[in-house]
């Protein structure tokens, strides 16, 4: 009898069983990785699509979503003091106009000089409507927060903001304490120095046992490189770290700024790499369960090649809309720090 059950168990592990095969099948095949690459690649660089109205300020980290037939972008601005978060809008994904500020500097708070925000619960379905989920009567945003002036200076933590309005340029409400800090007792070895950008998605399948999943990049005091980590939550308000190790790391340089898209039965994580080879560039990984990731080993999705992104081409937000893939990224070159776009089909200006 033991032999029969051993055979059954082996068959389940090999073939998977209905309803659980995504948790058993951890590695994505090279053929599937190639298929995803063909689906998401954007070989045509359209150019710079957005600069801050004040050209002396640097902008960064686009998050793109859609509400009532209008596209919106949250982006962060560095002006020498620290990060603040702004909102822009567009009718066509190509021409953007700033609406104003939504997270500002404050005084005598843990996040006084750093509030770099990233909208939570954007729909992840590839080619979907890219709307933002309204949860507990609010829209939500995690943000990189800190008290120290300067470019990503001091100890950075993850804060949470909410608002009843998604598309107006008005201040979001921020909490009094961070969600996650490198000073937490349960901070892991690769995140106990500082924490950077975060992304929160809704996982209705609860692969981790929780409905909300956060990916964020962080650095440790003995691991002086950035890796991508996970945390989970039942209610958006209280978070716990998930796993003992990073989900994506090269153990040097940077892996960061994750964005998740669901393409068929695969989750695709777009992220950027930097300094584990020259420059900064866009990469991706794939997963069946949001936990175990297979890293793409082929060519970069985007790498520096133009005057406007000659230094860095990084920090992705990728969508598919009406048969065209739009890959927004932060470009650093001869036009300063701006938002650029590459596409799967050649678009004319």
- Show the domains of the chain with their CATH numbers: 25-343 (2.115.10.20)
CB atoms within 10 A of CB 223: 19
32: left (phi over 0), alpha (psi -120 to 50) or beta: alpha
Dihedral of alpha carbons 84, 328, 200, 269, sign: negative
Secondary structure (DSSP) of 232-298 = EESSSSSEEEESSS-SB--SSSEEEEEEEEEETTEEEEEEEEESSSSSEEEEEEEESSSSS-EEP-S
Which DSSP helix (H) or strand (E) runs through 114?
A: strand 114-119
Whether 285 contacts 294, CB under 8 Å: yes
Is residue 341 helix, strand or coil? strand
pLDDT of residue 10: 39
pLDDT of residue 25: 61
pLDDT of residue 239: 98
For tokens 């999705």, the residue is: 301
32-64 pLDDT tens trace:
999 999 999 999 999 999 998 787 889 999 999
CA distances from 279 to 273, 275, 282, 284 (A): 8, 6, 10, 17
Question: In terms of DSSP H, where are the helices of the chain?
Answer: 2-15, 21-24, 30-40
Dihedral of alpha carbons 124, 230, 164, 116, sign: negative
Digitized pLDDT (tens) for each residue of the chain, 349 residues in all: 434 443 333 333 333 333 333 445 689 999 999 999 999 999 999 999 999 878 788 999 999 999 999 999 999 999 999 999 999 999 999 999 999 999 999 999 999 999 999 999 999 999 999 999 999 999 999 999 999 999 999 999 999 999 999 999 999 999 889 999 999 999 999 999 999 999 999 999 999 999 999 999 999 999 889 999 999 999 999 999 999 999 999 999 999 999 999 999 999 999 999 999 999 999 999 999 999 999 999 999 999 999 999 999 999 999 999 999 999 999 999 999 999 999 999 998 7
Among the listed residues 302, 301, 62, the one whose alpha carbon sits nearest the alpha carbon of residue 197: 62
């Amino acid at each position: 009898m033991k032999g029969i059950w051993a055979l059954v168990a082996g068959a389940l592990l090999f073939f998977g069983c209905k309803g659980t095969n995504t948790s058993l099948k951890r590695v994505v095949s090279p053929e599937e990785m190639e298929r995803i690459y063909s689906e998401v690649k954007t070989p045509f660089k359209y150019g710079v699509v957005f600069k801050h109205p004040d050209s002396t300020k640097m902008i960064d980290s686009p998050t793109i979503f859609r509400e009532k037939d209008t596209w919106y972008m949250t982006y962060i601005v560095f002006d020498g003091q620290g990060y603040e978060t702004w909102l822009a809008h567009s009718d066509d994904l190509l021409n953007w106009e700033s609406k104003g500020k939504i997270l500002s500097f404050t005084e005598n708070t843990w996040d006084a000089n750093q509030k770099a925000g990233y909208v939570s619960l954007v729909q992840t379905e590839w080619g979907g409507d890219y709307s933002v989920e309204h949860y507990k009567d609010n829209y939500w945003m995690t943000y990189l927060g800190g008290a120290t002036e300067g470019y990503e200076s001091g100890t950075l933590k993850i804060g949470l903001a909410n608002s009843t309005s998604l598309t107006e340029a008005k201040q979001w409400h921020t909490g009094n304490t961070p969600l996650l800090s490198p000073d937490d007792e349960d901070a892991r070895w690769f995140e106990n120095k500082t924490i950077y950008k975060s992304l929160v998605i809704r996982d209705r399948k609860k692969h981790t046992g929780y409905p909300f999943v956060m990916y964020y990049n962080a650095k440790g005091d003995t691991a002086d490189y950035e890796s991508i980590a996970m945390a989970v939550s039942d209610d958006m308000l209280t978070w716990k770290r998930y796993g003992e190790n990073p989900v994506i790391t090269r153990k040097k340089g940077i892996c960061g700024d994750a964005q998740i898209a669901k393409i068929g039965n695969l989750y695709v994580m777009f992220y950027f790499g930097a300094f584990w080879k020259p420059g900064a560039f866009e990469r991706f990984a794939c997963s069946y369960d949001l936990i175990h990731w297979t890293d793409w080993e082929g060519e970069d999705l985007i790498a520096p090649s133009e005057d406007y992104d000659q230094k860095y081409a990084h920090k992705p937000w990728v969508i598919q809309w009406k048969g065209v893939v739009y890959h927004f990224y932060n470009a650093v070159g001869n036009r300063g720090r701006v938002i650029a776009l590459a596409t799967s089909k050649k678009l004319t200006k």
